[in-house]
Structure 1
Amino acid sequence: MKKIIVFGFLFGMFFIPNTLLAQAEPEDIASINNDFENYFYESLKQKGIENYDKAVEALEKCKDIQPENGIVYFELGKNYLSQKKYKDAYDNFEKATKIDPKNRWAWVGMYDVCYETRDFNQAIIIVETLVEFKVDYKEDLTSLYMETQQFDKALTLINDLNETVGKTEKRELYKARILQDAKYQGSEKADLIAKIKKNPKDEANYVALIFMYSQSNQEEKALEVAKQLEKEIPSSDWAQVSLFKFHLNNNDGDKTVKAMNIVLASDKIDKKIKHRILNEFLIFSKNNPQYDKDLEKAIGYFDNDKEVRVAKEIGKFYQAKKEWSKAIKYYEMHLKSAADDMETIILLSQAYAENVQFDILAKFSEEQMQLFPTQPQLYYYNGLANNQLKNYKKAKDALESGIDFIVDDIALETNFNIQLGEAFKGLGDAKMKEMYFTKANELLKKQKK
């Protein structure tokens, strides 16, 4: 930017009307040049220290000397813009463009004013001119069309840019927003169909069309496109996304598994789509337990996914349905790669208890107590398990050790007292049994208030 301005300044220094030169003596011309140069440099110096009023004063003197020098008006525009005097800034930038229509930076100055004042309609007019200088301004034009809700123009421009310079995440978000409105989907579908006919080996157009049909609940048409994609590009992973859904709906487990495994192994498919497919297969396998091993294999594709712990979430799915054995299996699977996940440790302990696996719960909770000695829930489950196994002394010791770690958890404290009452009952200490049961009742009443 500075190089262009300096060039413009030098040009402006020598831009003295021919009529003036014809009438002036040589020494007068030199004086005019010197005066202009001095005032102009003074304006640059004052602008540099943000003394915009003095910079404007100096530029006004430059304007008196060379009233048709576009660089002077450009500099005036910049100083007024810095002062947020938007009308003065715009007027001077506009004057600069009238003197020199090829001064791109003056047009940029007008654009800056419109953007800061949120006059997006006027900004569009200016940017349409800037595009003639530099096609990169088409990106700005896209955003301005979106801002002014000219979605038809935005969509046309987005498609043009996608074709000529490639897709960007920002434009794809704009496009998705536009296509939420059904009135734009027809033209877009027609455009994609035409592109597929023109170039049947371009996978991206099939994918976009599949998504559009899926979003408008036109599953059969989506499947037709997926099949066409599979035919034209047999190696396409995207075709399997729709084929998975088709085979699932037809209750064809083997073909469903085949399509799913291709999708989950693909580096091209988005993680959100993979999670959706796994969730759908999870529901399918619940009603078709012969595919449990395929579900386990599918979970393996997500071992390195730190955002969503798939095995854990599947454990929760089965726990909510009180299918304790399956919940246990997936919690145990998850803990192999996340041994310190306390939430899962507690969920697994509960599942062991619900599944009446007290011997395993006693051993598991004791191991966890060694690793996490301040977690009261572990002591509770250890006490519960040992009470059920009639190891009352062990139960009492664990419960008495853990109760001190409870902080503001009346429900857990209640359960501790119940289990302590059971432990003392087993030990034959009626007095202590009554004390803890009484305390548990008091806590229960407190919970109900």
Structure 2
Amino acid sequence: MVLFSFFFVLFSNNIFAQDSIPAKEDLTEEAELKFQEFFFKALSEKSIGNYQKAIENLESCNQILTNDVSVYFEFSKNYLLLNNTLLAKEYIERSLAKDIHNLWMLKHFVKIYQKERNYKEAIKIQQQIVAIHPKERELLARLLMYDRQYKEASALLNVLEKENTLTSNLKKLKSSLEKRKEISEKKINPSDLSSLIHQFKTNKSYQILEQILKDSTNNDTALLKFCEEGIALFPAQPFVYLVKGKILNDQKNFQNALTTLKNGIDFVIVDEMEVDFYTEIAKAFKGLGNSKQEKKFKQKAKNLKN
């Protein structure tokens, strides 16, 4: 029994650092050992992807000791991994009722709302987290952008920039937001394609480039040159990467298409464009003969559409 206990503690500390294995002083020694055995099995099954079996072991824990916060938390994690957000929410709410300021539980609650694409509720929970842990503002900025609250996201990013706490990814997103604002504030006068190309020679404006990329339909070689120049001039504009990736896929240059699309997707802040990226990435993987990755990115695109 001593050897088992030593192995149990060592294994759980190394593998399940964020999962708490509770000690239950109000149980008999035999019941506590049974409880920990089932709890350990639940963590072990979850770690190898057997989420339903993990839930079965948690149910055994619940029979030994009802209304336990750690068991509820694990129920919620496993139900989320099974994409059952309804039960995941029910159990995390039970957990938080007993430990309202628990950081890991609140973070998990945000993940559930993100899974549902319910960004407004995710933002509310993340704001609670930020009130206790100000360093968690990066995700709040992202959630605000996902919810298209661009003004609020920009204001938060400006604060982080003044505090010199902007990560490299947030700097890219801030640049993308600024470009988006410029686009919305400026309008290009209607003109034919040749006139736009002529304008772009003297005025390296993203607005003009975007119109060229949208209006061009035939000459892929010329369009690729515009894309390459556009990426050099405007490296945080995802639309340029998307157009280049599409052209490369059409030319069956799948590896370069994949590299281009992966480089550009980090700058995407609009769901519809993210769907286009995932669709083109799936095409690139199909062309490379990687059916597993093709299916994965097709599913990602489908999930965003739903």
**TM-score with structure 1 setting the length:** 0.36
The alignment covers a number of residue pairs equal to 180
- Kept in 2, the 8 Å contact 1:97–1:103? The answer is yes
- Kept in 2, the 8 Å contact 1:151–1:178? The answer is no
1:71 aligns with 2:82: no
**Partner residue of 1:338?**
none
**Partner residue of 1:145?**
144
Question: Structure 1 146/129 Cα, relative in aligned 2: closer, same or farther at 3 Å?
Answer: same
Q: Deviations over 1:94-113 (max 9, x none)?
A: 22222122322222221111
- Kept in 2, the 8 Å contact 1:80–1:88? The answer is yes
1:9 aligns with 2:20: yes
**Partner residue of 1:207?**
none
The one-letter code of the counterpart of 2:39 is F
Match of 1:170 among 162, 170, 173: 173
**Partner residue of 1:101?**
100
Question: Structure 1 74/159 Cα, relative in aligned 2: closer, same or farther at 3 Å?
Answer: same
1:69 deviation in Å?
A: 2.5
1:419-430 equivalences under 5 Å are none
Question: Structure 1 112/8 Cα, relative in aligned 2: closer, same or farther at 3 Å?
Answer: closer
1:203-242 equivalences under 5 Å are none
**Partner residue of 1:422?**
none
1:168 deviation in Å?
A: 0.7
**Partner residue of 1:403?**
none
Q: Which has the larger radius of gyration?
A: 1
**Partner residue of 2:300?**
none
Structure 1: gaps spanning 5 or more residues: 22-27, 183-214, 217-275, 281-306, 309-449
Structure 2: gaps spanning 5 or more residues: 1-11, 188-198, 204-227, 230-306
The one-letter code of the counterpart of 1:13 is A
- Kept in 1, the 8 Å contact 2:150–2:177? The answer is no
Question: Structure 1 46/149 Cα, relative in aligned 2: closer, same or farther at 3 Å?
Answer: closer
1:33 deviation in Å?
A: 1.0
Q: Deviations over 1:252-299 (max 9, x none)?
A: xxxxxxxxxxxxxxxxxxxxxxxx99947xxxxxxxxxxxxxxxxxxx
1:7-406 equivalences under 5 Å are 9-10=20-21, 12-14=22-24, 16=25, 21=26, 29-164=28-163, 165-166=165-166, 168-178=171-181, 180-182=183-185, 279=202
SS at match of 2:20: helix
Question: Structure 1 41/113 Cα, relative in aligned 2: closer, same or farther at 3 Å?
Answer: same
SS at match of 1:140: helix
Mapped partners of 2:14, 2:100: distance in 1:
18
Q: Calculate the aligned-residue CA RMSD, in Å.
A: 3.2
1:30 deviation in Å?
A: 0.7
Question: Structure 1 2/137 Cα, relative in aligned 2: closer, same or farther at 3 Å?
Answer: farther
Question: Structure 1 48/151 Cα, relative in aligned 2: closer, same or farther at 3 Å?
Answer: closer
The one-letter code of the counterpart of 1:87 is L
Mapped partners of 1:4, 1:45: distance in 2:
9
Question: Structure 1 6/99 Cα, relative in aligned 2: closer, same or farther at 3 Å?
Answer: farther
**Structure possessing the higher relative contact order (Cα contacts under 8 Å, 6 or more residues apart):** 2
**TM-score with structure 2 setting the length:** 0.51
SS at match of 1:168: helix
Mapped partners of 2:13, 2:131: distance in 1:
21
Question: In percent, how many aligned pairs have the same letter?
Answer: 25
Question: Structure 1 171/123 Cα, relative in aligned 2: closer, same or farther at 3 Å?
Answer: same
1:3 deviation in Å?
A: 6.8
Q: Deviations over 1:2-43 (max 9, x none)?
A: 779557624x223x5xxxx4xxxxxx6212211211111121
- Kept in 2, the 8 Å contact 1:77–1:92? The answer is yes
